[in-house]
Amino acid sequence: MRVIPLAAAAAGIAALLAQSLSSYRVTHTYTLGGDGSWDYIVPDPPNHRLFIARQTRLMVVDEDTGTLLGEVAGIHGAHGTAVAAGTGHGFATSGNDQSVVMFDLKTLQPLGRVHAAEDADAIVYDPASNRVFTLNGDAHSSTVIDPRAGTLITNIPLGGKPEYGASAGDGKVYANLTDISEVVEIDAKTATVSRRWPTAPCKQPVSMALDTAHHRLFSGCRSGVMAISDYQAGKLVTTVPIGMGVDGAGYDAASGNAFASNADGALTVIHQDTPDQYRVIQSVPTPQGSRNMGLDPTNHRVFLVSAKFGPVPAGARRGPVLPGTFTLMVIEAGPAAH
Q: Does an H or E element contain 8, and which?
A: helix 3-21
3-333, what's its fold? Methylamine Dehydrogenase; Chain H (2.130.10)
Task: Single out the residue of 125, 70, 111, 118 nearest to residue 94, CA to CA.
Answer: 118
Are the C-beta atoms of 92 and 78 separated by less than 8 Å?
yes
pTM of the model: 0.91
Task: Read off the amino acid at residue 47.
Answer: N
> How confident is the prediction along the chain (338 residues), in pLDDT tens digits per residue?
444 454 444 444 444 444 445 699 999 999 999 988 899 999 999 999 999 999 999 999 999 999 999 999 999 999 999 999 999 999 999 999 999 999 999 999 999 999 999 999 999 999 999 999 999 999 999 999 999 999 999 999 999 999 999 999 999 999 999 999 999 999 999 999 999 999 999 999 999 999 999 999 999 999 999 999 999 999 999 999 999 999 999 999 999 999 999 999 999 999 999 999 999 999 999 998 899 999 999 999 999 999 988 888 888 877 888 888 999 999 999 864 44
What's the Rg (C-alpha) of the chain?
Answer: 20
Task: Single out the residue of 59, 38, 64, 26 nearest to residue 265, CA to CA.
Answer: 26
- Domains of the chain, by residue range, sit at 3-333
Phi-psi category of 194—alpha, beta or left, where left has phi over 0 and alpha has psi -120 to 50? alpha
